[in-house]
């Protein structure tokens, strides 16, 4: 079983829909990262969380440490949000453990 | 503009021919790291560096070398490349490390070893 599981693996939605991508982990962590990988391959860090919630524009990330779960939400989704979204956790040994990614396609 | 640069962006080489992929950041970051990304395996860390002259192995260091002689540069060296090192490589940096903040990623280097 992977230590970091993302769901869904693939998600296709219509423009304007509210998007939720989930990340569950099985190890103790000190931080959780959400990243976005564009179709061209470039990677951008979106958030780093250790508790609570963060918001940047239309993106919201939450984490529940007790439940070992994080969600990334996109409000008013747009085709330019189409990308692979990756969750990564920093474990107690200061190692980053990466999820497999969620491929999001937003149709106009 | 704050950025992480990698060169080359694309490289085709043959087995055994030594190559170096350069990585440079202009943000005075202490922490730098190399990852490879392969289909179905996601990102895996090769090496990282907490500061000048301080480097440590990541998850998949075999077949790679790194050096950190200056804070801004963190080259990845493949002394004798093999086809299983065909991959997409990313360099990343942050002021301290991913346990306290997000990382900045380079644009990636696509390597094909024949």
- Summarize the confidence of residues A52-67 as an average pLDDT: 95
Q: How confident is the model at residue A1 (pLDDT cuts 50, 70, 90)?
A: low
Q: How confident is the model at residue B101 (pLDDT cuts 50, 70, 90)?
A: confident
**B107–A41 CB contact, under 8 Å:** yes
B98 in Cβ contact with A96 (< 8 Å):
yes
Taking the CA of residue B3 and the nearest CA in chain A, the distance in Å comes to 11
A47 in Cβ contact with A59 (< 8 Å):
yes
Which candidate, A29, A50, A49, A48, places its Cα nearest to that of A93?
A: A29
Chain B residue nearest residue A9, CA to CA: B40
**A41–B42 CB contact, under 8 Å:** no
Chain B residue nearest residue A84, CA to CA: B42
Residue range B46-94, pLDDT digits in tens? 999 999 999 999 989 999 999 999 999 999 999 999 999 999 999 999 9
């Amino acid at each position: 079983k992977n230590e970091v599981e993302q769901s869904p693996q693939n998600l296709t939605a219509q423009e304007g829909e509210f998007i939720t991508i989930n990340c569950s982990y099985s190890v103790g962590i000190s931080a959780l990262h959400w990243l976005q990988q564009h179709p061209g391959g470039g990677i951008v860090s979106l958030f780093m969380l250790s508790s609570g919630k963060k918001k940047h524009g239309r993106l919201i990330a939450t984490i529940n440490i007790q439940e070992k779960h994080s969600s990334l939400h996109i409000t008013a989704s747009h085709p330019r949000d189409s990308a692979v979204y990756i969750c990564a956790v920093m474990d107690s040994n200061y190692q980053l453990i990466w999820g497999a990614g969620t491929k999001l396609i937003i149709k106009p | 503009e704050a950025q992480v640069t990698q060169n080359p962006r694309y490289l085709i080489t043959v087995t055994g021919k030594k190559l170096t992929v350069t990585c440079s950041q202009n943000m005075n970051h202490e922490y730098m790291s190399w990852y490879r990304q392969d289909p179905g395996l996601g990102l895996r860390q090769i090496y990282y560096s907490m500061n000048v002259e301080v480097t440590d192995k990541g998850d998949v260091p075999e077949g790679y070398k790194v050096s950190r002689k200056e804070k801004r540069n963190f080259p990845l060296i493949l002394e004798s490349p093999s086809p299983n090192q065909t991959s997409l490589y990313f360099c990343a940096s942050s002021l301290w490390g991913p346990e306290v903040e997000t990382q900045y990623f380079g644009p990636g280097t696509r390597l094909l070893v024949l």
